[in-house]
């Protein structure tokens, strides 16, 4: 008796979803005025890689970046360091990323991959993290969510 694996659906594979993200990043506008040394899409892919690999810190991600694992997995020509990632992606509006997120979710919906997560009258229950991983009390950002603490400190 043999074990029969379920038929793989190529459009639901990690490669297919990463491809959607790569293509989506490639079509976002680069607002930098000078000739960039680092590709805009590579900086966005590096940020995506940092979260999808669940790096516990930026330093840990930079170590992975240096070991060469990130480059082939995420299709980057060059993997930017932390400083370049922050400088390049700072002006990116979250509204630019919404169509990209919708295309990934649409693909998952079509393949019925989200069906087991349906609850509350047709809504999906998804756990998205990242809000607690990377925060700072010393580097405020106009695009960042801010949390006020009782003694007057802001994160």
- 76-92 confidence digits (pLDDT tens): 777 777 777 777 777 77
155, with CB counted inside 10 A (0-12, 13-18, 19+), is: middle
CB 89 within 8 A of CB 43: yes
Over the Cα atoms of the chain, what is R_g? 18
Higher pLDDT, 19 or 3: 19
Distance, in Å, from the CA atom of 143 to the CA atom of 92, rounded to the nearest integer, reads: 9
pLDDT band at 5 (very low <50, low <70, confident <90, very high): very low
- 85-143 confidence digits (pLDDT tens): 777 777 777 888 888 888 888 888 888 888 888 887 878 776 665 555 566 777 777 77
């Amino acid at each position: 008796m043999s074990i029969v694996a379920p038929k793989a659906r190529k459009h639901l594979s990690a490669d297919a979803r990463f491809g959607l993200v790569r293509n989506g990043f490639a079509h976002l506008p680069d607002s930098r005025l000078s000739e960039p040394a680092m590709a805009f899409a590579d900086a966005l892919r590096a940020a995506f890689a940092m979260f999808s690999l669940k790096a516990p810190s930026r330093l840990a991600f930079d170590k992975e970046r240096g070991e060469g694992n990130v480059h082939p997995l995420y299709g980057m020509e060059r993997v930017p360091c932390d400083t370049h990632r922050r400088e390049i992606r700072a002006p990116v509006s979250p509204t630019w990323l919404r169509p990209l997120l919708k295309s990934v979710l649409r693909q998952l919906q079509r393949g019925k991959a989200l069906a087991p997560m349906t609850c509350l009258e047709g809504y999906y229950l998804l756990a998205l993290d990242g809000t607690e991983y990377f925060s700072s009390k010393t580097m405020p950002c106009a695009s960042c969510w801010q949390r006020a603490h009782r003694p007057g400190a802001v994160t």
